[in-house]
Amino acid sequence: MPTVTTDAIVLSDLLAEITLRQLPCGGWAALACSAQPAIEPSCYCTLALSSAVSTSRAERAFEFLLQSQNRNGSWPAFAGDDQEGAWVTALAVMTLRDLPAAIPARLKGFEWLMNFAGRESNWLWKWKFRTADRHVRFDPEKFGWPWIPDSVSWVVPTSFALLALKQLPCSCSGFEQAPFRIELGIEMLLDRACPGGGWNAGNGVVYGTPLAPHPDDTAIALLALTDHRQESVVQNGLQYLEHVAADLNAPWSLAWAILALAAHDQDTKLLQQRLACMPDLQAIEDTSTLALALLALDQERALLDLGVK
């Protein structure tokens, strides 16, 4: 059985590896072998680093994120991407939360998120989904956020957008619609759950067949729904995640499960120990997974960063 000391060693190894993978521009690439900085891994790594290591590395990371912002207030998926924006905008505004110099950039990001919606927010698409295209069971009245512009809402981008918008200090000065979008997004998540509990990308039932949930999608949805734990859909999701987490052998899903279960006040000590014991954790090629493992082992701080606790 690993000890707290072991966890501390693992944390320090992971931190060293993340530090090593930081690119000269201050960001991180999705894979260890790549040199193309991407926003998602950069956000997780920045969160993991920001209170743990010397400020110069964290400052470079923040600088990279600030310089990557598109003119329209959004963030691209990776450096060099098109400028119309992507779902990672929600992650970027959360990551920059404690940086006073980032306030204007964050406000622009929030504005963009407020105007970014799934296609089914348009009444004609609602009509299409009600009449001609009914193979996927969902209520098109309840929309959230898509991965990229001009597509429909999905569970993960909606969950991250909800987490980000909940960090808005108030709903005044241009953000009057925020409570409405948050409420609608929550309804959308509740509507898109799998019938047996939990969430996948967002298709609960297709052609009358219930689809299986995924642990990571479920965990991310549960993080966005911490204020709605009385809902039976949330309870079912928690039950599914608790059940599946016990046997998870993939660090990405296990790390998300730890964060979500902790956010819902479940004991995650055994799961953390299992994560810390995984062989060659720091050799994982996917940098986001590496950073998430670190965040899951330091869950209290991570949940604060995500605005969940």
According to CB under 8 A, which residues from 163 to 192 bind another protein?
none
Q: Which two tokens stand for residue 307?
A: 């605005």
The nearest distance, CB 209 to another protein, in angstroms, is 4
Beta strands in 137-223 (DSSP E): 205-206, 209-210
Stretch that binds another protein, among 43-51, 100-108, 141-149, 264-272 (CB under 8 A): 141-149
Residue 160 contacts another protein per CB under 8 A: no
Question: Among residues 251, 260, 262, 291, which is the contact residue for another protein, using CB under 8 A?
Answer: 251
**How far is residue 258 from each of residues 75, 79, 231, 265, 269, measured CA to CA in Å?**
27, 30, 20, 10, 9
Residue 40 contacts another protein per CB under 8 A: yes
Stretch that binds another protein, among 102-110, 187-195, 228-236, 244-252 (CB under 8 A): 244-252
Q: Are 14 and 6 in contact (CB under 8 A)?
A: no
Residue 56 contacts another protein per CB under 8 A: no
The nearest distance, CB 273 to another protein, in angstroms, is 19
Closest by CA position to 147, among listed 84, 88, 213: 88
Question: Among residues 124, 170, 172, 283, which is the contact residue for another protein, using CB under 8 A?
Answer: 124
d(CA 59, CA 100): 12
Question: Among residues 8, 55, 135, 177, which is the contact residue for another protein, using CB under 8 A?
Answer: 135
Alpha-carbon torsion angle 277, 282, 288, 291, nearest 10? 70
Q: Bridge-partner residues for 206, per DSSP?
A: 136, 209
Q: Are 42 and 27 in contact (CB under 8 A)?
A: yes
d(CA 293, CA 299): 10
Burial class (CB in 10 A: 0-12, 13-18, 19+), 167: middle
Residue 70 contacts another protein per CB under 8 A: no
d(CA 191, CA 244): 22
The nearest distance, CB 110 to another protein, in angstroms, is 21
According to CB under 8 A, which residues from 189 to 228 bind another protein?
200-201, 203, 206-207, 209, 211-212, 214-217
Backbone torsions φ then ψ of 32, nearest 5 degrees: -60, -35
Residue 77 contacts another protein per CB under 8 A: yes
Question: Among residues 111, 139, 231, 286, which is the contact residue for another protein, using CB under 8 A?
Answer: 286
Query: Which residues contribute to the site for another protein (CB under 8 A)?
Result: 29-31, 34-36, 38, 40, 77-78, 80-81, 86-87, 119, 122-125, 127-128, 132-133, 135, 146-148, 150-152, 154, 156-157, 200-201, 203, 206-207, 209, 211-212, 214-217, 248-253, 284-286, 288-289
